[in-house]
Amino acid sequence: METKSINIVLLGPPGAGKGTQAEILKDAFKLLHLSTGDMFREEVKAGSEIGKKLAEYMNKGELVPDKIVTDLVIGRMGKPDAKSGVILDGYPRTGAQAESLDKALKDSGKRLDVVLYVNTTDEVVVKRLSGRRICKACGKIFHVVNMPSKKENVCDICGGELYQREDDKPATIKNRLEVYVKSTKDLIKYYRDKGFLYEFDGGMQKEDLFKAVKALFNKLGLLNK
Ligand code: AP5
Ligand code: MG
Total of domains in the chain: 1
The predicted-structure confidence for 28-62, as pLDDT tens digits, reads as follows: 999 999 999 999 999 999 999 999 999 999 999 99
Query: How confident is the model at residue 225, as a pLDDT?
Result: 46
Q: Is the CB of 69 under 6 A from ligand 1?
A: yes
Asked whether the predicted pLDDT for residue 6 surpasses 60, the reply is yes
10 neighbors 118 (Cβ within 8 angstroms): yes
Task: Give the pLDDT confidence of 199-222 residue by residue, as tens digits.
Answer: 999 999 999 999 999 999 999 999
Residue 42 lies in a domain: yes
What mean pLDDT value characterizes the chain? 95
Other beta carbons within 10 Å of 85: 20
Distance from the alpha carbon of residue 38 to the mean position of ligand 2, in angstroms: 7
Average confidence (pLDDT) over 120-130: 96
pLDDT for the residue numbered 84: 87
pTM over 0.85: yes
Could you tell me if residue 17 is inside a domain? yes
Cβ–ligand 1 contact at 39 (below 6 Å) = no
Torsion sign over Cα 27, 40, 109, 183: positive
Answer yes or no: is 143 within a domain.
no
Whether residue 128 is contained in a domain is answered as no
64 lines ligand 1 (CB under 6 A): yes
54 within domain boundaries: yes
Q: Determine which residue's CA is closest to atom 50 belonging to ligand 1.
A: 17
User: Which amino acid is located at 140 in the chain?
Assistant: K
Q: Residue 48 in 3-state DSSP? A: coil
Inside any domain, residue 147: no
Question: What three-state secondary structure class fits 12?
Answer: coil
Which structural domain range is residue 115 located in? 6-121+184-219
CATH classification at residue 17: 3.40.50.300
Residue 86 domain-assigned (yes or no): yes
Q: Flag whether 77 is in a domain.
A: yes
Query: Distance, CA 170 to ligand 1 centroid (Å)?
Result: 14
